[in-house]
A = this chain, B = another copy of it.
Amino acid sequence: MTAATFTKTPRRTQYVPSMDLVPQVLEGRVSAIARMISRAESAYPEAADALAELYRRAGRAHVIGVTGVPGAGKSTLVSALIKALAVAGHKVGVVAVDPSSPFSGGAILGDRVRMSDAAASSGAYVRSMATRGHLGGLARATLEAVDILDSAGYSPIVIETVGVGQDEVEVVTAAHTVVVLSAPGLGDDVQAIKAGIIEIADIHVVSKADKPEAVATVAALNGMMALGAGRTDTRWRPPIMAVSSVSGQRLDELVETISAHRAHLEESGELASRRRSIARTRILGTARQMFQRKFDEGDDGLERHVDAVVCRTIGPTMAARRLLGWEEET
């Protein structure tokens, strides 16, 4: 070993500009996809133009949201769903938003490992989003990950998320087909958390159909729907399916029901109005988050307006209008 060895510049992975990754993502190169999603997660300003370009190229994928309380068996269902969809010839993408994900520093769960197995054996792409350090931008990052996979030709794309919290609800309402998973035998207190997500279901799945309590859960869901729960789409009555991921029972039927829902969206014209409402939710969610973040981080613009209000040159309403850019500063 010579002295030169020590002074040699260590070999580093070169930073590829995000715009240069775009053609690779469009070709479906997995390493480029992984990098783009990481940059979306970190909200690199440098990646903004590339993400915008990929958004423009996306829009073909069918997006399936799978949600349910912790313990309902989401990861198991998603694993089984990946296999069933892959067998049916689809190139499946999965974006998992789950605080217990091993990738984001949570507990390593058997379910998650099983999901990776399913992915490996089927050619699906599975990505877990970190749920920390997002400054409220989890929904934005997750939906950008969906855009990236969409532009790369993946379809359907499954978003897996726990059905608790504003971010999670924002994410799942950005899906074209929302599958809400209920588990038989979970306490009422746990199920109650789902009150808000029961209403956005396009398909109800009762997991662990092999358990005897599953019959009661199906009946309870039927009761809730009779009370008028349901999305604005009155022409689709959400079916309730009892599924056993263990035995594979009725999983093919779930795949068929998802296809039937997609066909319904296209034929009824509901797809267009759902796309509008998804776009609206994404814009407002992003704007709210950007606005909040700007001032949480301390902003010179704000302090200038504070000065003016403290000196009583202008009132708080005018300051707010200027802050929002709705009023020119004089």
Interface residues of A (CB under 8 A from B): 48, 51-52, 55-59, 140, 143, 147, 275-276, 279-280, 282-284, 286-288, 290-291, 295, 302, 305-306, 309-310, 312-321, 323-326
Contacts and interface: CB of A to CB of B under 8 A. Distances in A.
A11 to B, nearest CB: 35
Minimum-distance CB pairs A-B, first 8: A325-B325, A55-B315, A287-B320, A286-B320, A282-B316, A279-B309, A52-B315, A283-B319
B280 A306 contact: yes
A313 B282 CA distance: 15
Indicate how many identical chains form the complex.
2
A324 B52 contact: no
A276 B304 CA distance: 11
Contact of A324 (B51, B58, B279, B324): B324
B325 A309 contact: no
Contact of A309 (B283, B295, B314, B323): B283
A318 B52 contact: yes
A302 B280 contact: yes
A320 B276 contact: no
A29 B145 CA distance: 61
A52 B317 contact: yes
A275 B308 CA distance: 12
A260 B315 CA distance: 29
Contacts of A55: 312, 314-316
Contacts of A302: 280, 283-284
A290 B309 CA distance: 18
Contacts of A316: 55, 140, 143, 279, 282-283, 286
23 contacts: A48-B317, A51-B315, A52-B314, A55-B314, A56-B312, A56-B314, A56-B315, A57-B312, A58-B312, A59-B312, A140-B316, A147-B315, A279-B316, A279-B319, A280-B302, A283-B316, A286-B320, A287-B324, A288-B291, A290-B326, A291-B324, A324-B325, A325-B326
